[in-house]
A and B are shown apart, each in its own frame.
Chain A
Amino acid sequence: MALTYQSTGPDVLKKMFQVQMNSPDDLLIALGGNPNTGKSTVFNSLTGLNQHTGNWPGKTVTNAHGKYTHKGDSFTLVDLPGTYSLLANSAEEEVARDFICFGRPDATVVVTDATCLERNLYVVLQVIEISNNVIVCVNLLDEANKKKIHIDLHKLSTLLGVPVIGTNARGGVGLEELKDVVYRVATSEVKADPVKICYDEVVEDTLRLLEPCIREKIKNKINSRWVALRLIEGDSTISDSLKNYLGIDIRGDNAINSALKEVEQYLKQKQIEKDELRDRLVTGIVKLAEDIREKTVSFDNKQYNQLERKIDNVLTSRVFGIPIMLALLGIVFWLTIQGANYPSQVLATVFFWIEGRLTDFFMWAGLPDWLHGALVLGMYRTLAWVVSVMLPPMAIFFPLFTLLEDLGYLPRVAFNLDNYFKKACAHGKQALTMCMGFGCNAAGVIACRIIDSPRERLIATITNNFVPCNGRFPTLIALAIIFIAGATGKCQSIVASLSILGVIVLGVVITLLISRILSKTILKGLPSSFTLELPPYRKPQIGRIIVRSIYDRTLFVLTRALMVAAPAGLLTWLLANVHVGDMSILQHWAHVLDPLAYWLGLDGYILLAFILGFPANEIVIPIVIMSYVATGHIIELDSLEALKELFVANGWTWLTGVCTMLFCLNHFPCGTTMLTIYKETQSKKWPLVAFFVPTITGIVLCFALAQTARLLGLV
């Protein structure tokens, strides 16, 4: 046995789990547990690392790392994917299991939800089976108190045989104590003596047959009883993991193979099938969890979840469920449009005042016109547009949306809509990935990991772009205000909100239709199993949401503006002002696109803007503006009114506006999203499909609308 922990350990950590440790003396702590237990909040509170925390099951799909110091020692904390089990049913479960088992953390903290302890103990017991150095963190104690659920933490600790710490991570309660105990366990100051899970006679008999030769083979590297259990239940991933991480080949071991044969014969003799054996294993753990819960948890108020049930009865009711959902979304849009109005104008005024001063400076310094054009009219103006038009709606929309997310409303949306997704042969959790798409389609594509079945995950990935993201929202809002709500006077923001809502509903309908078409053609198959947890509602931390969203969004928009919009503005100005023959390069290109664009109800400049906007959707409208401005109509673009004048002067009608909105909703994903799809699917085929499916949809829709409108003489 040449491979020792010293030679494999750190390598394994670096390569397999990509954990970066400052020094080999760092203590390595794993953070595991069910989703939706406040695990991410614990992670953030301990490390101070800013990370998005959500309130729906399966959110933390990637494991994050962070560092903290306590009593002079430094700790590396690894946030494992939240899982309901460690039996390697999915990629996340395998990652979590392998890290706890082979990543050799100095301690593993399992975060649990005090309001739903039994379900969480299932994972706790599985972790305890793998490792001795376990600390149980009973989180959300405040919620439990509110529901009059009492947990005897001392008794729980005695029964589990590991330290138990009660916390309320959001309130910062109990975290110091948690750090203390983690320190003591990780430095072996406290030796835990975890409970041994006893199974029924049959399982114990088979263990007696198999465990000795496994112990012989793997020495004390990992828990041999646990490895034996995995082999008995027929989990093939464990043999691979042993080989990958520890270099131990148990497949080729004669003693183990003959012991496995004995097990098989024993089971045959008892007439027990493999599936049934697994049931027995799970039953052993579940029964113990139940037993421990009975001894440690008391409910003073048996009706503790009555209020929640009443709320759910309304929010998911047959009559009101979907109307309430649409109304909530509509209110969010209305608040966004109404609220963004004023700050947008203030920002625009400020930015155009600065533009004036910049122009004065260029005049005073006697700098050439082309430089002023490229830097001020090209780069600065695009930047100013993106910031003043994009930032306010985003800074309002996101806190509101995060509020719904933190409340726990989004799983209810998935619950309400699942049947439609089922009919489209897709997965109900696709609704959740679409919600993420509102923020950013690349994030939505990553969120598709919560869907286990590869077929349904691909469907969700390909169709995510039908949800308008961050970068497209303000474009839609601006166009809806100008061309749909334009003449409605006082009701303008309401009409605009309803139009946006209509666009979203259209996006959802298209998503469902395309999902169904994909299911019947290139992604044939039946819907796979679907289970969705409806977690308890949580009181959102309003202050934190506002600070975090505004800060995150502001930073996001500003960074994008600087990184993408500013250079793109410069490039576009050059294209619009460098003349070849009697026309600018931009005009040449636009003329080539004109015939096609006309059929789609657009013009060459708009279509070109969508193509040039491939790096980031935010810059589509600025490119259109610049193209028009360069052709002679110089105006001060300090309001939507001015924008409307510019568009109308360039031949826009309501049809152009609506077709632009349609094409904005249905066209190829941006560069970042394409790259993300490539990374997530590890294939060149699917990004191409994801490119053409929405583009063709957009072309068909725009063509149909434009031709119908023209035929009917509506324009």
Chain B
Amino acid sequence: MESLIPLHRLSLGSFGKVRKLTAKGNSRRRLLDLGFIYDTKVEVLRKSPSGDPVAYEIRGAVIALRSEEASKILVECLEPDR
């Protein structure tokens, strides 16, 4: 059983699978609308010049999240696929 890490800790270029959202209220609703639901694959695409926010690819779209938001998404780290 892999341990869960918050999305913003995932290193650049790696993949994760969404396991749990700890966000509440409106922030949670937004993340759900973006498709951050259980088992969804997320790729850490790129960092902005100052390192935050970070752009993720999820369900075919590129979404930038600040670390505050990303830290509320717990993921399981996946092996990067070729």
Contact = CB atoms under 8 A, between A and B. Distances in A.
Interface of A: 84-85, 87, 89, 115-119, 122, 275, 278-279, 282-283, 286-287, 290, 309, 312-313, 316-319, 321-322, 415-416, 418-420, 422, 428, 527-535
Contacts of A532: 53, 63-64
Interface residues of B, number: 36
A283 B38 contact: yes
Interface of B: 21, 23-24, 26-35, 37-38, 40, 45-53, 55, 59-66, 68-69
Contacts of B64: 415, 418, 428, 530-534
A129 to B, nearest CB: 15
Chain B interface main SS type: mixed
B62 A534 contact: yes
B48 A529 contact: no
Residue with the greatest number of chain B CB neighbours at <10 A, chosen from A313, A428, A533, A534: A534
Nearest to B23: A529
Nearest to B52: A419
5 contacts: A84-B34, A116-B61, A312-B45, A415-B64, A527-B68
B79 to A, nearest CB: 17
Contacts of A84: 33-34
A97 to B, nearest CB: 13
Contacts of B52: 418-419, 422
Given A87-B33, A529-B27, A530-B65, 12 more contacts: A89-B26, A122-B35, A275-B28, A278-B29, A286-B37, A286-B59, A318-B49, A415-B48, A419-B48, A419-B50, A530-B69, A532-B53
A529 B30 contact: yes
A529 B69 contact: yes
A290 B59 contact: yes
Given A119-B61, A321-B48, A534 B55 contact: yes
Contact of B47 (A115, A287, A318, A531): A318
Contacts of B21: 279
Contact of B63 (A85, A319, A534): A534
A396 B35 CA distance: 41
Given A89-B29, A419-B53, A531-B30, A119 B60 contact: yes
A529 B45 contact: no
A420 B52 CA distance: 10
A162 to B, nearest CB: 22
A264 B53 CA distance: 39
Residue with the greatest number of chain B CB neighbours at <10 A, chosen from A287, A290, A309, A530: A530
A119 B69 contact: no
Contact of B24 (A116, A275, A286, A535): A275
B66 A322 contact: no
A87 B32 CA distance: 11
Contacts of B46: 309, 312-313, 316
Contacts of B63: 531-534
Contacts of A312: 45-46, 55
Contacts of B37: 279, 282-283, 286-287
A312 B40 CA distance: 24
A594 B21 CA distance: 62
Contacts of B31: 531
The 5 closest A-B pairs by CB, nearest first: A419-B50, A85-B33, A321-B49, A529-B27, A534-B62
Contacts of A287: 37
Contacts of B62: 533-535
Contacts of B35: 118-119, 122, 286
Contact of B53 (A116, A322, A415): A415
B52 to A, nearest CB: 5
Given A316-B48, A529-B30, A530-B66, A418 B53 contact: yes
Contacts of A115: 60
B40 to A, nearest CB: 8
A416 B49 contact: yes
Contacts of A322: 49
B34 A529 contact: no
Nearest to A85: B33
B24 A118 contact: no
Nearest to B26: A89
A575 to B, nearest CB: 51
B49 to A, nearest CB: 4
A559 B62 CA distance: 41
A339 to B, nearest CB: 30
Nearest to A420: B50
A316 B29 CA distance: 28
B69 A282 contact: no
Contacts of A316: 46, 48-49, 55
Contacts of B55: 312, 316, 415, 534
